[in-house]
Amino acid sequence: MAILEARNVTREYRMKAENVRALAEISVAIERGEFMAILGTSGSGKSTLLNLFGGLDRPTSGEVLFDGESLAPLSSWEMSRYRLRRVGMIFQSFNLIPTMTARENVSLALAFAGLSKSERRRRSLELLDRVGLSQRAGHLPSELSGGEQQRVSIARAIANEPQVLLADEPTGNLDSSRAAEVMEVLDEMRRRDSKTIVLVTHDHELAGRFATRIIRLKDGRVIAD
């Protein structure tokens, strides 16, 4: 069974007087352990699809299923628990809290899960060690390089052991060598911890190198699989 599935999903936005259709009756199923890259130009609806998978957004019609169960009936609070436990999100602009150190950023995700302070301390260091940043735990994001920041955000994303990692252009702000580093980390997550990775990118080269499956979106539709 697919771990994540979109069934006939349409997502429309209202922009001024116009309805913008970001996704048009799209159906995608992502299997467990896949490294799937979603390619497409900007405005193709790839980020919208990722936000739907990430539980940040709800479809206008159709449904999103996680492990065979629809997200539609979930309350706002249940949706937040879904984001906390089931999926981990990684962003192009890292989205670390600038006033918190690397460890505190990772800790925050653990705090939302209700871990005690000592547990958080131990676990956050462990997670930073996983992404090779145990030496940088006490640094603020501004004191870290882009690649390091993205690795912190990966550590944060896997903090509560989600089965799926959703990465929205994680390498968009990085140079190619840093980008490759980040992709290595993600790939290792897939291979070692059998996580499912969904990667949104417009970098064909990187996608080709790491992805096990590539789909292409255009104007809210899948044009290639």
Give the residues lining the site for another protein (CB under 8 A).
51, 54, 56-57, 76-77, 80-81, 83-85, 88-89, 91, 93, 95-97, 99, 108-109, 111-114, 116, 156-157, 159-160
Listing DSSP states for 143-185 in one string gives GS-HHHHHHHHHHHHTTT--SEEEEESTTTTS-HHHHHHHHHH
Least distance from C-beta 56 to another protein, angstroms?
A: 5
Q: Residue 120 Cβ, how far from another protein at the closest point, in Å?
A: 9
Helix (H, G, I), strand (E, B) or coil at 80: helix
Closer by beta carbon to another protein, 81 or else 190: 81
Tell me the closest approach of the beta carbon of residue 171 to another protein, in angstroms: 15
**Nearest CA to 28 among 2, 6, 54, 57?**
6
Q: Which two tokens stand for residue 156?
A: 């944060």
Of 33 and 172, which has the nearer Cβ to another protein? 172
Q: CA nearest 198: which of 31, 62, 60?
A: 31
- For residue 157, how many other CB atoms are within 10 A of its CB? 25
For 137, 186, 224, the CA distances from 153, given in Å and listed in that order, are 12, 11, 30
Q: How far is the CB of 1 from another protein (least distance, A)?
A: 24
